[in-house]
Copies of this chain bind each other. A is one copy, B any other.
Amino acid sequence: MKISARNVFEGTIDTLQPGAVNAEVSIALGNDRLVAVVTMESVRSLELAAGKSVLAIVKAPWVLLMSDDSGVRLSARNQLRGTVKLVEAGAVNAEVVLTLAGGTELTSIVTKEAVAELGLKPGTSAIAVIKASHVILGVPA
């Protein structure tokens, strides 16, 4: 599949919690895990169910980065611990690639000031924060 999002993860649905309008879908990405909230209509049309292989798609500007010792708990469902692999700075933004604990690589776009303030460089540990409603799910057509 060719899609512009930097983060296209192949995974397997772990659990699917249906609601009236939305469903919460937990996806195992090898040893990492991502939670998505999608509409029940998507659950039906994509035939999502536990055990099914899916793609979890997250655009890089939708990923926040947090330092390890932030001392804060957040409302965002996905908070994934990793190590910075690469930082590539532009004029306003920078692209930061993180290797998660389970081996998954995740790309975030943040401002250059954020890179400086968090002291992000290869080897630094960081937490990637992703809202569950910002994860798009896909299945083979």
Contact = CB atoms under 8 A, between A and B. Distances in A.
B141 A75 contact: no
B3 A66 contact: yes
B91 A73 contact: no
B22 A64 contact: no
Contacts of A42: 75
B141 A136 contact: no
A75 B140 contact: no
25 contacts: A1-B66, A3-B64, A3-B65, A3-B66, A3-B114, A4-B66, A4-B110, A4-B111, A4-B114, A20-B21, A21-B22, A39-B75, A42-B75, A46-B73, A59-B62, A61-B109, A64-B136, A72-B139, A73-B139, A75-B136, A89-B92, A90-B93, A95-B111, A109-B111, A133-B133
Interface residues of A, number: 61
A108 interface: yes
A61 B58 CA distance: 12
A4 B108 contact: yes
B131 A136 contact: yes
Given A4-B114, A19-B21, A21-B21, A38 B138 contact: no
Contacts of A90: 90-93
Interface string A60-103: 11101111011111111100000000001111111100000000
